[in-house]
Structure 1
Amino acid sequence: MTDHLSVLAIIIPLLAAPLCVLVARGGGAWLVALVATWSSFFAAVALHAQVMDSGTVSYLLGGWAAPWGIEYRVDLLGSYVLLIVTAIAALVMCFARLSVEREIPEENHAQFYAALLLALAGLAGIITTGDAFNVFVFLEISSLASYALISMGKDRRALSAAFQYLVMGTIGATFILIGIGFLYMMTGTLNMQDLATRLPELTDTRTVRAGFAFLVVGIGLKLALFPLHLWLPNAYAYAPSVVSALLAATATKVAVYAMLRFMFTIFGVEFAFDAMPLGLILITLGMVAILTASLVAVFQENIKRLLAYSSVAQIGYIALGIGLASATGVTAAVLHLFNHALMKGALFLALGAVVYRIGVVSLHDFKGLGRHMPWTMAAIVIGGLSLIGVPPTAGFVSKWYLVLGVLEQNLWPLAVLILIGSFLALIYVWKIIEAAYLSTRDKKAAAVAEAPFSLLLPVWVLVGANLYFGIHTDLTVGVAERIANLLLGAGG
């Protein structure tokens, strides 16, 4: 069984998706989805341990040797991101039962869980495949499932948000496919390791450079890198709570993985950051994203939309770290990939608990909730502190490394801008705290009780992880440093 771990993380949710539709009655679909997501998570845990012990794991599909056959190849970066994605999916599925009952019509439950599993299978496939074309295939699986999931939101605007995401996502996927096509035209291979071997002698050709440009733009769209982020705010704001949490914590992180995989492993640091101006582009767009998206978030009244713009800003921090192309910068980016998944997962699930009780997440309706939903509001406060980067939360650790990274390269104005971004985050988090704790609830409003335990448990697991990894940094920082060294070619 251990020989098949890299493919099990995909196969389990992929096979369970149609099973959800077959056992639709009496909560059977949720139970199948729950077992599938946790099984996928346990496979990811075992795979990560295997990679930590013995290095990169290669799985030849059908026994056909690479590069002629399709290879599933999982290194430390892949096992790390797969662990995050499957862990978030497993916790989200625990939260889903009551949340979905409240937000999704009963006749659509089975299809909803099936689409959720397909989205997970697609994301896991992007991470584990060693074939460039398969990245596109799994990207389409996860994207198509995501469009369907977003459209199931109660608000009619969910349909337009899903359509906007579909249009932008299709453009991004097309750019990625064209980029991969250009690389195949020049090398005659789709295997990532083979591409990495053959490309260095072809990097002076206009075809390879055009392929690089297409891949940067395509992945940037999927990543929601400013100014290619226009699909994200509406998608997060109007999707069902479970979907917002899953996409915010996993989808953009997998896009970051794809960026790291193509730019560092396939094209190489010298070509991507020296021959091509990727570093300057990512640093510039990252800083603009941090400032503008944070500023827009300050003026949002819908809390889900506020956190959506916050996600655009946090993606800016990750892009900045990658753009530095240094050991400390890439370490900060990989760390923030992990930490942002924890904080946004906790925050969006906590908002899901609020939706379960009062049905809305506007700032006005948050008034006085600190007294009525103390555990939920406390989770939002701690998640918000992590978003700002206050010690001892996980968000502080990655921002600390990011500041170290820019100071190493004597880019102190960027350090100032990072602090300004954190100050803007303080302002929009304070708006939520002020409404919840310092305002009184309308006397005419209906009484509100705390969210059920089954909703609070996954929220507080993620909140606890935010605090734990903010204090005990050896595990995350150690792995992130090893990944950065491997990506930069400095050994592991």
Structure 2
Amino acid sequence: MASAGGRALRASYNYLVLGSIGICLYLLGIGFLYSVTGSLNMGDLRILLPPLYGNRIVQTAFIFILIGLSIKCAFFPLHIWQPNAYTYAPSAVSVIIAAAMSKVSVYALIRIIYSVFTLEFIRSYAGVDMAICWMGAIGIIAGSLLAIMQHNLKRMLAYSSVSQMAYIMLGIGLSPITAWGLLGVIAHLVNHALTKGCLFLAAGAFIYKYDLVDIRNFEGLGKKMPYASAAFTLAALSMIGIPPSTGFATKLFLIFASLHATDVFASSAYLFVAVLLLSSLLNLVYFWRVIERMYFIKGGEEMDGGERGREAPLSMLGPLVLLAALCILVGILWLTKLPLPLLDAVLSGLRLEVFL
């Protein structure tokens, strides 16, 4: 990313600095845990920590680990490195960052919460789960509103990712109350990897063929690049939450989780449902701008693909079409399989425990 120079170099530097801060906080938290338990084995820590839940060092360790991994996950409001990194990185790099890298940090956070501290630690501090949920809800709306304001396609997708990662934060906050929360987190990890990977691949194809990144210049693109545009549209519909896509399954599970939390969160749980529904509308707003210009507004001047032809090469279309198809097929899988038995299978593989 830094090889592009200019703003890309600054984006790389910001990512390096903030990523280093996140890792340092995480390692400090691990060091604090070692200082009070004498072990780094996750299984041992799970046994040794419960009597120490009231220990200030353990509490500080959890805060450091949570903040450090939240920076790496780009959770709102610790996402400030993400928009520029996604925007100015080469498209192939953007795909890897968006689809895979942040998910590794989310997995690490899930393992720390469930396998080391356990949900009993979260429950022992009133208001922590509520605070996480509210940060997620605010991030969902804020990221969507920022995405609506963008004209650069990759930057719009970057702020969309801020909103999408906030879904995971909301699910983590709901998971101490109901297993539907964790199911929503796992489903959204899959959903975001598939859909955002597909969207960034499509953006890369548009840039490769016509050097297009400004949404206002996308008139008639659906006719000139039908397969890439169709794949982008399918992934966008999944992100909006149109059934039977993976995005629909994700939001459905999180809505179920919110409704199951009404006894604990009272009216706030219904507000979380409203946020999830509103987020679909906001997603529709910023993705429809792209789809409308691609399919329903005729272009002025004919785009010239030069020697490379009209459509993206097969080497780009293959992964693009595959991911677009998976956005629908995986959604059907999530919706037709019984969710909780499927969740049990995932949890047994991760050696996690959910308290229903």
1:277 positional shift: 4.2
Distance 2:7 2:338 in 1: 39
Q: Percent identity?
A: 41
Match of 1:414 among 272, 275, 300: 272
Query: Could you give the per-residue CA deviations for residues 427-473 of structure 1, whole angstroms, max 9, x where no partner exists?
Result: 00101011111222231643461101111000111111111112222
Structure 1 match to 2:265: none
Contact 2:240–2:283, Cα closer than 8 Å, also in 1: yes
Distance 1:279 1:328 in 2: 15
**Which residue identity lines up with residue 252 of structure 1 in the other structure?**
S
Contact 1:335–1:480, Cα closer than 8 Å, also in 2: no
Structure 1 match to 2:57: 207
Structure 2 match to 1:430: 288
Structure 2 match to 1:399: 251
**Which residue identity lines up with residue 403 of structure 1 in the other structure?**
I
Query: Could you give the per-residue CA deviations for residues 105-160 of structure 1, whole angstroms, max 9, x where no partner exists?
Result: xxxxxxxxxxxxxxxxxxxxxxxxxxxxxxxxxxxxxxxxxxxxx223x4631101
Match of 1:223 among 48, 55, 73: 73
Query: Could you give the per-residue CA deviations for residues 34-76 of structure 1, whole angstroms, max 9, x where no partner exists?
Result: xxxxxxxxxxxxxxxxxxxxxxxxxxxxxxxxxxxxxxxxxxx
1:386 positional shift: 0.3
Structure 1 residues without counterparts, runs of 5 or longer? 1-149
Distance 2:338 2:324 in 1: 16
Match of 1:367 among 208, 219, 236: 219
Contact 2:179–2:354, Cα closer than 8 Å, also in 1: no
TM-score (norm 2): 0.91
Structure 2 residues without counterparts, runs of 5 or longer? 263-268
More relative contact order in 1 or in 2 (CA 8 Å, sep 6+)?
Answer: 2
Alignment pair present for 1:452 and 2:313: yes
Query: Could you give the per-residue CA deviations for residues 324-350 of structure 1, whole angstroms, max 9, x where no partner exists?
Result: 122111111111111111111111111
Distance 2:185 2:7 in 1: 33
**Which residue identity lines up with residue 289 of structure 2 in the other structure?**
K
1:476 positional shift: 9.2
Distance 1:362 1:469 in 2: 31
**Which residue identity lines up with residue 151 of structure 1 in the other structure?**
A
Structure 2 match to 1:479: 342
Aligned residues: 341
Structure 2 match to 1:327: 179
TM-score (norm 1): 0.67
**Which residue identity lines up with residue 392 of structure 1 in the other structure?**
P
Distance 1:205 1:446 in 2: 66
Structure 2 match to 1:315: 165
Distance 1:450 1:273 in 2: 54
Match of 2:24 among 174, 189, 207: 174
**Which residue identity lines up with residue 348 of structure 1 in the other structure?**
F
Which sits farther off after the overlay, 390-399 or 361-370? 361-370
Distance 2:130 2:68 in 1: 18
Distance 1:164 1:176 in 2: 18
Contact 1:469–1:476, Cα closer than 8 Å, also in 2: no
Secondary structure of 2:291's aligned partner: helix
Distance 1:479 1:169 in 2: 34
Structure 2 match to 1:344: 196
Distance 2:77 2:338 in 1: 30
Distance 2:70 2:333 in 1: 32
